[in-house]
Chains A and B, each alone.
Chain A
Amino acid sequence: METKGIGSFFSISDDQFKRMIAVFIALVTVLVAAVTYLQSDAASRDDQANRDSKRYAVESFGRQVSGTARVNFDESVAYQMMYEAALMADLADQRQEQDAARRFHTIASEVSLASPLLAPPYYDPKGTSEPDILRYEADVYLVEITTLEENFSAAWEVKTAWDYKANTYIIYITLLALSLFMFGLAATLSSPRSRWVFSGAGVLSTAVAVVASILLWSKPVFDLRQQGNAIADYAQGVGLAHQEQYEAAIESFDRALAAYPAYTNALVERAGANMELAQYDQAVLDYTAAINTGDKRAFVAGNLGWAYYLMGDFQRAIDMNRFALAASPDELWVQFDLGLSMLAAGQVEAAKAEYNRGMEMATRSVADAVTAGREQPAFLWWSLEDAASSLDDCLNTLDQETGNPPPQSIQNPDAVRTTGQDLLTSLKSLTVALEFTNKPPAGTVSGTISPLQISEPVYDDQGEMVSDAEPATEFSFGITEVALQFDYEGMQNGQEYLVKLYFDGVEDPSWRILGVWDYGASGSQTILLSYEYSDYFTFGPGQYQVELYIDQHLMQSATFSVYEE
């Protein structure tokens, strides 16, 4: 019976067939209208998200420029003026010029009215601390532009998703148009077999288009902007981290992640805050989670490698640094971190090779920039300084037997000390040579310099410096002058010498002394670092490091500290 029924269905008359085809065509037309509606809806949302993303980008740019202009005024003009007036008042006080002191105190007090930065909550006029510029920046524009930037990214993701949907619906509309063509063709054919084949193909392509359209329609488009307060909490966290309030920042990122657990930027920023709090295990979890959400940025993998290094997990650090370099081979700081991780893992020769590769990359980068007639990116200098500083920290950790990575986790510490010191000298010499000559340091230096001895100079009654000042590494606050004393042999007049001074790990370029050696082949020499020109400034409390270079080669360095009694 069933076979007979199907047979009778396929043997319908020409008129009946054409009527059936007419109904199919009408039905498909409705489906075309429906899918066109969905396509138009998707295209409309695509346009809207595209427009929103552009709007957020332009707004972010404008707010950043206007915010920076304002903060620059508040800090570099208003606060600088108040600082200068207060300084002049203090100097007048020191000279016991009470009237002048009163005048400048009045100005310092009144100029604070010129800027909100110089009033609570950013500044305590009765206190001694500086204005909270980081909080001010966060309030004036940082949180706002972070929100706009996140909205931009979110809108762009939405745009991409709806764009895909709109384009895919067009494929399905084309498929339905193909169905209409099949049905139309079937109605014109006289061969029963052919007309059934074409009408069957039409039904099939219609079914495919309908099912695919339903599946596509049912697939939701993710919009970060609709995930509760995720973006607002994230931006708040960025503002708090900028103010170095890392615990509060982590709480904000926690809220953002509670609203949307796969929020990559929030994971990365929370990891950064955890790093600042030395909660490396938490940072590792967050960086790993960020990578698992699809974050392929080299700095995330590089930072994860750095977290592993600080925890003493050198093999994982090496793996992550390699992973980061595979994504972005020009990341100089990751290249040096790779060398450092290898060094700490006791792979001394491999570490040397990686450091050398990094130094070659830096040299090549400078040479390329010179050839192209452009400046080197500041990032290059930062990477070189960071490499030297990280290596120095590692050596200090070994010497002091405390810190991160845990000293006991460092393999072959004697080799690390020796090789590390050589690499540190090479890095510092390379940095100076590239800065001054655009080339790596050439050859070797003829001559030797004895270790630097630091002392507070002592003067006799005639104002002449006496030579028997006691070398020291610690000085009490208020010292205005230090002397670097050293012996030298085999030197040649005409060589270039450079003295650099670092305060708490950061070079103070105002102290640079660059000169031509004219002290002869051998002897003793004293170089003064002095605030004697000022009756106000002295060496502030902190750690100082002095370096002496000859022809861009680091010859000697020494450290001293100034402490408050």
Chain B
Amino acid sequence: MDGDMDEVVEEKDDRLQTLMAILIAIVVAIGAIVVWRSSLAEDAAGDADFDGMRAVVFAENTRALNYVNAYEDYRNYLRYWYYTRLGELIDADLATADGEQADLLDQEARAAYNQADANAYFFETRYLNRDGAYNVQRQLGSMWADEQRIKDLEYESKFAVADRLRIKTLHLLLALMVISIAPVFYSLVESVSGGFRLVMITIGSVFAIAGTILAVLIEFTR
């Protein structure tokens, strides 16, 4: 009778050990998947940071070059404007001048216009407003837009993605921590007896399931 009872208890223990081994194996497998997803998220965060940094370099390079070139054009325009305006003002006075004075003013006006023409080819005429003023801000905006067509100049969104992925990595590791508590209770099953075994299995499974659900939610929630 005792021998039969021992066999039954031993058989139960074997089944329990097998169950525990399977549960621990499942938890370890889930943990490994969570670590893998966490690692992928971390890698993606690094990539997003790199993309962002590349965009920062492109953006600042573009900004610096655009300012240098646009204000160089503006400088040439201003010289052009200076001599053109001088010519116009002399022309206005020429209308009321006569004789030698008129000849002198005519020469001065021509000289001014010639100097204006010498500067006319050194700025972008398409950035002139209808009133003839040079719109350097429009040129800067246009140059930026041109560069944006061939280079990625926007970096804030990439840094935001990187930050979000980093948080995801940490949250997945938090889920892993919850999952990793399960084996503690599974291993305690061997140390207790009777109803406590079921309690240990239940608590361990609650941690395993909670951690898994948490990881799934983190993975599939933006």
Binding site for B on A (CB under 8 A): 16, 19-20, 22-23, 25-27, 29-30, 32-34, 36-37, 40-41, 44, 47-48, 51, 54-55, 58-59, 61-63, 65-67, 69-70, 72-73, 77-78, 81, 85, 99, 102-103, 106-107, 110-111, 113-114
Q: Which of B4-12, B120-128, B182-190, B214-222 contacts A (4 or more CB under 8 A)?
A: B182-190
Q: Are A62 and B59 in contact (CB under 8 A)?
A: yes
- CA distance in complex: A107, B68 (Å): 25
B204 to chain A, nearest CB (A): 9
- CA distance in complex: A301, B116 (Å): 55
Name the CB-closest residue of B to A88: B86
Name the CB-closest residue of B to A103: B89
Q: Which residues of A contact B74 (CB under 8 A)?
A: 73, 77, 114
A49 to chain B, nearest CB (A): 11
Cβ 8 A contact of B78, one of A19, A23, A58, A114: A114
- For the complex, is B177 an interface residue (Cβ under 8 Å from A)? yes
Binding site for A on B (CB under 8 A): 38, 42, 45-46, 49, 52-53, 56-57, 59-61, 63-64, 66-68, 71, 74-75, 78-79, 81-82, 85-86, 89-90, 93, 133-134, 155, 159, 162-163, 166, 169-170, 173-174, 176-177, 180-181, 183-184, 186-188, 190-191
Cβ 8 A contact of A73, one of B75, B85, B174, B184: B75
Q: Are A34 and B177 in contact (CB under 8 A)?
A: yes
Cβ 8 A contact of B163, one of A26, A48, A73: A48
Name the CB-closest residue of A to B180: A33
Chosen A-B contacts, 13 in total, with CB atoms closer than 8 Å, are: A23-B187, A23-B188, A33-B173, A37-B173, A44-B45, A47-B45, A51-B162, A55-B159, A61-B60, A66-B63, A69-B71, A72-B71, A102-B89
Q: Are A29 and B78 in contact (CB under 8 A)?
A: no
Q: Are B75 and A77 in contact (CB under 8 A)?
A: yes
Known: A44-B45, A61-B60. 19 other contacts (CB 8 A): A20-B191, A26-B183, A37-B173, A37-B174, A40-B42, A40-B170, A48-B162, A48-B163, A51-B53, A54-B53, A55-B159, A59-B56, A63-B60, A65-B64, A103-B89, A103-B90, A103-B93, A110-B85, A113-B133
Q: Which residues of B contact A26 (CB under 8 A)?
A: 183-184, 186-188
Q: Are A77 and B78 in contact (CB under 8 A)?
A: yes
Centre residue among B68, B71, B79, B134 by max chain A CB count within 10 A = B71
Q: Are A78 and B64 in contact (CB under 8 A)?
A: no
Q: Which residues of A contact B187 (CB under 8 A)?
A: 19, 22-23, 25-26
Q: Are A73 and B169 in contact (CB under 8 A)?
A: no
Q: Are A47 and B49 in contact (CB under 8 A)?
A: yes
Q: Are A29 and B174 in contact (CB under 8 A)?
A: no
Q: Are B177 and A59 in contact (CB under 8 A)?
A: no
Q: Which residues of A contact B38 (CB under 8 A)?
A: 40
Name the CB-closest residue of A to B67: A66
- Given the interface pairs A40-B42, A103-B90, A106-B89, the reply to whether A55 lies near B56 with Cβ below 8 Å is yes
- Given the interface pairs A66-B64, A69-B67, A77-B75, the reply to whether A111 lies near B82 with Cβ below 8 Å is yes
Name the CB-closest residue of B to A38: B173
A434 to chain B, nearest CB (A): 35
Q: Which residues of A contact B90 (CB under 8 A)?
A: 103
B19 to chain A, nearest CB (A): 15
- Given the interface pairs A23-B191, A106-B89, A107-B89, the reply to whether A47 lies near B60 with Cβ below 8 Å is no
Q: Are A103 and B86 in contact (CB under 8 A)?
A: yes
- CA distance in complex: A54, B190 (Å): 54
Q: Are B42 and A65 in contact (CB under 8 A)?
A: no
- CA distance in complex: A36, B159 (Å): 24
- Given the interface pairs A20-B191, A59-B56, A70-B71, the reply to whether A44 lies near B159 with Cβ below 8 Å is no
Q: Are B78 and A62 in contact (CB under 8 A)?
A: no
- CA distance in complex: A77, B81 (Å): 12
Q: Which residues of A contact B59 (CB under 8 A)?
A: 62
Cβ 8 A contact of B82, one of A20, A27, A37, A107: A107
Q: Are A59 and B176 in contact (CB under 8 A)?
A: no
A108 to chain B, nearest CB (A): 10
Q: Which residues of A contact B183 (CB under 8 A)?
A: 26, 29
Cβ 8 A contact of A47, one of B81, B82, B89, B166: B166
B155 to chain A, nearest CB (A): 8
B44 to chain A, nearest CB (A): 12
- Given the interface pairs A78-B78, A110-B85, the reply to whether A30 lies near B49 with Cβ below 8 Å is no
Q: Which residues of A contact B181 (CB under 8 A)?
A: 30
- Given the interface pairs A44-B170, A66-B67, the reply to whether A29 lies near B180 with Cβ below 8 Å is yes
Q: Are B159 and A51 in contact (CB under 8 A)?
A: yes
- CA distance in complex: A111, B74 (Å): 12
Q: Are A73 and B71 in contact (CB under 8 A)?
A: yes
Q: Which residues of A contact B86 (CB under 8 A)?
A: 103, 107
Q: Which residues of B contact A103 (CB under 8 A)?
A: 86, 89-90, 93
Q: Which residues of B contact A29 (CB under 8 A)?
A: 180, 183-184
Q: Are B68 and A33 in contact (CB under 8 A)?
A: no
- CA distance in complex: A111, B133 (Å): 11
- CA distance in complex: A26, B208 (Å): 13
Q: Which residues of A contact B134 (CB under 8 A)?
A: 114
B108 to chain A, nearest CB (A): 9
- CA distance in complex: A47, B181 (Å): 29
- CA distance in complex: A456, B61 (Å): 56
B10 to chain A, nearest CB (A): 13
- CA distance in complex: A302, B147 (Å): 47
Q: Are B190 and A19 in contact (CB under 8 A)?
A: yes
- CA distance in complex: A186, B149 (Å): 65
- CA distance in complex: A258, B38 (Å): 42
A523 to chain B, nearest CB (A): 48
A328 to chain B, nearest CB (A): 31
- CA distance in complex: A493, B3 (Å): 132
A480 to chain B, nearest CB (A): 28
- CA distance in complex: A107, B163 (Å): 54
Q: Which residues of A contact B75 (CB under 8 A)?
A: 73, 77
Q: Are A55 and B53 in contact (CB under 8 A)?
A: yes
